[in-house]
Amino acid sequence: MQRILNKDTVSHKGEKILVKGWVYVRRDHGKLIFIDIRDRSGLLQVVFNPKVSADAHKVASDLRSEDVIEVIGKINERPEKLVNLKMGSGTVEMEATEVKILAKSAPLPFDIGKETLDVELPIQLDHRAITLRHPRVQAIFKIQSVIIDSFREYLKSQDFFEFQAPSITPAVAEGGSEVFQIGYFDYKAFLSQSPQLYKQIAMSAFERVFSVNKIFRAEPSSTTRHLTEIVSLDAEMAFIQSWTDVKDMAENVVRFILRRVEKMCKPELELLKASLPAMLLKTPTLSLTEVQQKIYEHSKRDVRGQKDLNPEDERTICEIIFKETGSDFVFVYGYPTKQKPFYVYPNPKNPEFNEGVDLLCRGVEWLSGGRRINDYNQLMKHVKEWKMDPEKISMFLDAFKYGVPPEGGFAFGAERMTMQILGLKNIREACMFPRDMDRIDKRLSLEKEDV
């Protein structure tokens, strides 16, 4: 007998079929036992009636949460007043005639049968295998997979080529304090903080490239916004006319992702009570100086001339722009050249400011990018001014000797975007197996080993 998924049972009314899954919730009403069985497609209500099958009812009477079972039974239409529209299969139920236990579960350390998982995040993470079974937790990762897929899909439609950026790197291009060191045979190596240099090399051969890869940050901070291992969505494109080509591509990617999430994740968004941010046809775009002026005019906080936006500035400008235009998004460009990495292109008309650009949404930076220097001599000049060791990035610098077109790119983190879209309070909720300075699966402070 072929297994039918719970969501497909509605097209098997009156038939005797086989379903498989986990006991999610059990309710006893007199002699009847009601079990919501969960599979990858959703829930199905199964009724065990001793008059229909005494054997099945007997087995069911010992079932508990998360036991794995297979059930054979007849799919019946539910009476109209018992229809449950929250359940995909809520117009039907199964009348069980046979049940078999495939695996027993130990008692759960907490109840996962409620609509909201009423457990502190650290405890949730201590028991990841259990919490991953909760529909709201699953919804987060389904949406995240749509975000990542959509990034890929849109860029492929724009002729971008996906390459595999390495995780092990030989040297640290920009400072070394926030990087993880690896013992690499008789040498030392480092975990990649960004595929920046590799994507520029790949771009110099393939023109348009992207990568979905892990980056690693050893920042010793345990905030709700930091992870040590992140999924970075990176893109780089050659033959741009101006930094605004990069901005437009980034805007289109984000727009495509939001549309896809809206279209493909309706039930998940509802479950999480999330509302997608509003993106206009043309996202407001301001220079850092203009942003600082606006903040000054609206809030009387004088941040004019500051070198960057702090978190409060980011919140304020997003509020102002939303009030003025209805856009949840705002691009900010033109940061002080010296404040940013050596490869960012300085504005030729005013080289003190660069052609880097950030996308803010709802008070937080979502994405960072801009035009890069493509001329070898200009790049070498910056390497010197930034006091970098050209030996450490020689493979990267060499690429620019051999003809690199005007180019730019952008990057954003999948977990950050997931967190922001869904309004999650902690980035750890947007990562299946989050790593931070206190945790790799288990809490590190519980370990006895040291280096």
Binding mask 190-209 for a second copy (x = CB under 8 A): -x------x--xx-xxxxx-
Q: How far is the CB of 409 from a second copy (least distance, A)?
A: 15
Q: Per CB under 8 A, does 181 bind a second copy?
A: yes
d(CA 346, CA 136) in angstroms, rounded, equals 45
Contacts of 391 (CB under 8 A, 6+ apart): none
Q: Which of 148, 276, 279, 380 binds a second copy (CB under 8 A)?
A: 148
Query: Which has the closest alpha carbon to 22: 47, 49, 42?
Result: 42
Give the binding range for a second copy (CB under 8 A) out of 44-52, 243-251, 355-363, 395-403: 395-403
d(CA 249, CA 251) in angstroms, rounded, equals 5
d(CA 167, CA 165) in angstroms, rounded, equals 7
Q: How far is the CB of 216 from a second copy (least distance, A)?
A: 7
Which residues between 76 and 95 bind a second copy (CB under 8 A)?
none
Give the binding range for a second copy (CB under 8 A) out of 51-59, 311-319, 324-332, 441-449: 441-449
Where are the alpha helices (H) located in 175-277, listed in sequence order? 196-206, 243-264, 266-271
Nearer residue to a second copy within complex by CB, 21 or 356: 21
Which residues between 117 and 146 bind a second copy (CB under 8 A)?
127-130, 132-133, 138, 141-142, 144-145
Tell me the backbone φ, ψ of residue 227, rounded to 5 degrees: -130, 160
Q: How far is the CB of 448 from a second copy (least distance, A)?
A: 10
Q: Per CB under 8 A, does 289 bind a second copy?
A: no
Cα angle 20, 23, 27; round to 5: 130
Q: How far is the CB of 234 from a second copy (least distance, A)?
A: 14
Q: Per CB under 8 A, does 103 bind a second copy?
A: yes
Which residues between 34 and 73 bind a second copy (CB under 8 A)?
39-40, 66-68
Nearer residue to a second copy within complex by CB, 206 or 386: 206
Q: Which of 49, 97, 105, 158 binds a second copy (CB under 8 A)?
A: 105
Query: Which has the closest alpha carbon to 22: 89, 87, 67?
Result: 67
Nearer residue to a second copy within complex by CB, 36 or 328: 36
Contacts of 192 (CB under 8 A, 6+ apart): 165, 166, 167, 168, 169, 213, 214, 215, 216
Nearer residue to a second copy within complex by CB, 64 or 307: 64
Q: Per CB under 8 A, does 108 bind a second copy?
A: yes
d(CA 408, CA 174) in angstroms, rounded, equals 19
Query: Which has the closest alpha carbon to 356: 430, 342, 391?
Result: 342
Which residues between 337 and 356 bind a second copy (CB under 8 A)?
none
Task: Determine the straight-line distance between the first and last CA of the chain, rounded to whole angstroms.
Answer: 55
Q: Per CB under 8 A, does 149 bind a second copy?
A: yes
| Torsion angle of C-alpha atoms 129, 146, 332, 316, degrees rounded to 10 | -50
Q: How far is the CB of 97 from a second copy (least distance, A)?
A: 20
